[in-house]
Amino acid sequence: MQIRHRRFHYQSLNELRDAAHELELGLEFDEDVSRLRNPVTISGKIVPNSIAIQPMEGHDGTPDGRPSELTFRRYRRFAAGGAGMLWFEATAITPDGRANPQQLMLTKDTLPSFSSLLAETLAIAQEQFGSRHRPFTVLQLTHSGRYSRPQGKPAPIIAFHDPYLDTETHVLPDQLPISDAEIMDLEDRFVEAAELAQAAGFDAVDIKHCHRYLPSELLAAHTRDGQYGGSFENRIRFLVNTVDKIKARLGDGIVVTTRINAYDGHPYPYGWGVTEEEGSRKPCLDEIKRLTEILCERGVPLINITAGNPYHDPHINRPYDLPVKGAELPNEHPLEGVARLIHIARVVQETVPEMVVIGSGYSWLRQFLGNVGAANIRNGWVTMVGVGRGAFAYPDFAKDLLVNGMMDRKKACITCSRCTQFMREDRATGCAVFDREVYGRR
Ligand SMILES: Cc1cc2nc3c(=O)[nH]c(=O)nc-3n(C[C@H](O)[C@H](O)[C@H](O)COP(=O)(O)O)c2cc1C
């Protein structure tokens, strides 16, 4: 069998363009990245440019869920980097929904620390770029569901039994899925957390629906009985109800959004965004299109599109050169993975041109991510370009793109998966390669 995976080895934009052309990926590349400077308006608020930092967990909160000094450091660095939007990392809304004992958690007790984190982040941004530069801030609210590990060992809460995942996620055959009443109660926990996020001063709150954590799993709950399973209307009920409840409680006080899988790559009937044939993993974006239209009608102005399950098929979520320990290289060229993520965001953006759509999965493109992002914005395939791992490695990448029109090749993330590896080893995470003083020597 021909091995398709290749490490990044492109010295120039032309070489990368040729590779994409050869693979017939339909990607475009702009020499001029000035479109990344476009300001964006979200519910009357001005986002100063079209670059977003994606939510990236640092696994460094305190036992009760407050940001630690390392957390503060991460957001200081992101703020000083100049991105127009800072999407704060996965923050649990209940203790049993924490993915690890260091995950941030928003409660009445931890609220003052979140307020300080946000205030300090915004102050640094303004100190660097002037009082008119106010990054738009989103707090990602999560329940980890199947991947909950609040005490450091698996304590899964499932929406349904999934024969592809149950064994690897330590789900016993007789475990009962979360009940409808408990899901309804969770909607209210998300509303309470949204209220706290508003009190902390965030511009927006993300009802996280990606990467197969609990709400994301509900989208794929074809085999579940009751109000939250089976039909499309039932599988999206949790998201729609939670959006409506937050809006009813907080009105225009906070923007409601979601970071959502358009496609998760799990086989039907256990997957979301896949064609409805037994065992099929082939993307089918009809449901994400319908759902986005519904969200748009309900006043959701912003959506962050992602894909995959980082525990199961990490290459779908984050194309890489090197896998985490013990994992195999996928038999696809990472550029194909990047193109998949770009085209799913494009389908959503073209469905709802009036919404601000953020695309994901750009870090593998190294110093050329801005060239692809600018072309995507020019084509109307996306409104904003989101960067995850690349921001751990090179927090100033946005400033370099916006001011100098280019990134420094020597600082760009090399997609070595060590940041993901740290998460898997229950260690604080960041970039072991370019932020070596903090993360390299441990
Ligand atoms: C260490 C690590 C932590 C992450 N934490 C989160 C998170 O808290 N929330 C989330 O939605 N995605 C999270 N992601 C996924 C990223 O936001 C992003 O979607 C992914 O890395 C692909 O984008 P990139 O190619 O720019 O890195 C994480 C990724 C990594 C590597």
Mean pLDDT over the full length of the chain: 97
Answer yes or no: pTM beyond 0.75: yes
| Three-class SS of 18-66 | HHHHHCCCCCCCCCCCHHHHCCEEECCEEECCCEEECCCCCCCCCCCCC
Average pLDDT over every residue of 28-37: 98
- Half-sphere CA count of 132, side-chain side, radius 13 A: 3
Neighbours of 14 (CB within 10 A): 11
**What's the CA gap between 409 and 401, in Å, rounded?**
12
Q: Which of 53, 57, 341 to mutate to test the pocket of ligand 1 (most atoms within 8 A of CB)?
A: 57
pLDDT beyond 60 at 383: yes
Q: Whole-angstrom Cα distance, residue 430 to residue 391?
A: 9
Distance CA 216, CA 309 (A): 10
Contact 237, 294 (CB under 8 A): no
Pocket of ligand 1 (CB under 6 A): 54-57, 89-90, 140, 210, 259, 306, 317-318, 360-364, 387-390, 419-420, 423, 429
Dist CA 148 CA 214 (whole Å): 9
pLDDT digits (tens, 9 = 90+) for 270-291: 999 999 999 999 999 999 999 9
Residue 52 tokens read as: 């977003």
Instruction: Using pLDDT thresholds of 50, 70 and 90, give the confidence band for residue 3.
Output: confident
Sequence-distant (≥ 6) Cβ neighbours of residue 144 within 8 angstroms? 90, 92, 97, 98, 99, 103, 157, 213, 214
Q: What's the mean pLDDT in 156-180?
A: 97
Mean pLDDT of 146-153: 98
- Whole-angstrom distance between the N-terminal and C-terminal Cα of the chain? 39
- Tell me how far the alpha carbon of residue 266 lies from the centroid of ligand 1, in angstroms: 19
Identify the burial level of 143 via C-beta atoms within 10 angstroms of its C-beta, where 0-12 means exposed, 13-18 middle and 19 or more buried: buried
Atom of ligand 1 nearest to the CA of 259: 11
| CB proximity list for 252: less than 8 A, separation 6 or greater | 43
| Percentage of the chain modeled with pLDDT above 90 | 98
| Pairwise CA distance, residues 285 & 275, whole Å | 9
pLDDT tier, 339 (very low <50, low <70, confident <90, very high otherwise):
very high
pLDDT for residue 442 is more than 60: no
Mean pLDDT, rounded, for 88-98 = 98
Beta bridge partners of 305: 260
Q: Report CA(227)–ligand 1 centroid distance (Å).
A: 31
Ligand 1 atom closest to the Cα of residue 391 is: 26
Q: Which fold has domain 13-439?
A: TIM Barrel (3.20.20)
- What is the C-alpha separation between 133 and 123, in angstroms, rounded? 10
At residue 135 the predicted structure's pLDDT band, cuts being 50, 70 and 90, is very high
Is a pLDDT exceeding 90 seen at residue 308?
A: yes
Is residue 114 scored above 60 in pLDDT? yes
If DSSP codes are grouped into helix, strand and coil, which group holds residue 310?
coil
Report the residue count for the chain. 442
